[in-house]
Amino acid sequence: GGEVVVAAACTASLATYLLPQRRSAWGAASSEERNETIGIASDITGATLGTLLLLGSGYALEGSYLAGAGVPDPYARALRTSLIEMEAAALSTGLSNMIKRLSGRCRPRSWKTDRCGDTDLDFDAFPSGHTTPVAAIAGARLNLALRTTGDAAPRLGALALAEVATVVTMALRIGSGAHSWQDVGAGMILGHVTGFAIAATHPIQPTRTPYAAGALPEPAPEPAAITWSWAF
């Protein structure tokens, strides 16, 4: 029940994209030229493609962590983490869209002589929609990493990838002329908070399976890994 509600709410939040765009007098921090090459690079590190790349690499690393901990069906269980990350990315994107529609801030590439452009796309700078979903994945992975026992290297690696993607995307969005620093900063904060909160709504439980590599001394130590619980 609760699992379905959370997933449905996160997915439904994407409908905020359809809200009418406000055009405010909030100008960009500076006027910048459009850089298409840097913009394309930011499409790879952030937004939809960057999110998918992070989900794929994170799934592989999570499966590796669970396999090393001796958890049965590690890659099937790793899908649980991917689902939570997808929820975080979806909800953060929905919230970002809503704030964009309400704030109506001008993009740097559209800000000329203290005036903005003539289309709705010129006024949806705040916050950065490219930055928010990858930052949400970072927030979800941070939540899990803080509660991980045993060899946390794969999970820390997944967290590092998400944080790097977030920072690189922030820099690229500024360099492309699409955003001011406040836009990407807000996207980073919104994403991290949303991802951390979504992960926190999903309980995790320790596995009773020790490491697969060799026997453990008696008495058995604390469980070597934790996985998301299937109970809400």
Each of the 232 residues of the chain gets a pLDDT tens digit; together they read: 678 899 999 999 999 999 999 999 999 999 999 999 999 999 999 999 999 999 999 999 999 999 999 999 999 999 999 999 999 999 999 999 999 999 999 999 999 989 999 999 999 999 999 999 999 999 999 999 999 988 999 999 999 999 999 999 999 999 999 999 999 999 999 999 999 999 999 887 655 544 433 334 444 444 455 565 543 3
Q: How far apart are CA 162 and CA 156, in angstroms?
A: 10
For residue 207, what pLDDT is reported?
55
Residue 178, both tokens: 């699409």
Q: How far apart are CA 86 and CA 56, in angstroms?
A: 11
177 within domain boundaries: yes
Q: Residues near 119 by Cβ (< 8 Å), separated by ≥ 6?
A: none
Q: How far apart are CA 143 and CA 132, in angstroms?
A: 17
For residue 232, what pLDDT is reported?
35
Q: Give the number of other CB atoms < 10 A from CB of residue 30.
A: 11
For residue 209, what pLDDT is reported?
46
48 within domain boundaries: yes
Q: Give the number of other CB atoms < 10 A from CB of residue 152.
A: 16
* Start-to-end C-alpha separation, the chain: 8
Structural domain total, the chain: 1
For residue 199, what pLDDT is reported?
96
40 within domain boundaries: yes
Q: How far apart are CA 215 and CA 229, in angstroms?
A: 26
For residue 99, what pLDDT is reported?
99
* Backbone region of residue 93 per phi and psi (left: phi > 0; alpha: psi in -120 to 50; beta: other values): alpha
130 within domain boundaries: yes
120 within domain boundaries: yes
213 within domain boundaries: no
For residue 149, what pLDDT is reported?
84
Handedness of CA 164, 169, 66, 7 (dihedral sign): positive
121 within domain boundaries: yes
At how many degrees (to 10) do helices 131-146 and 47-68 cross? 20
Residue 98, both tokens: 């809503």
Owning domain of residue 178: 31-58+84-199
Three-state DSSP class for residue 151: coil
195 within domain boundaries: yes
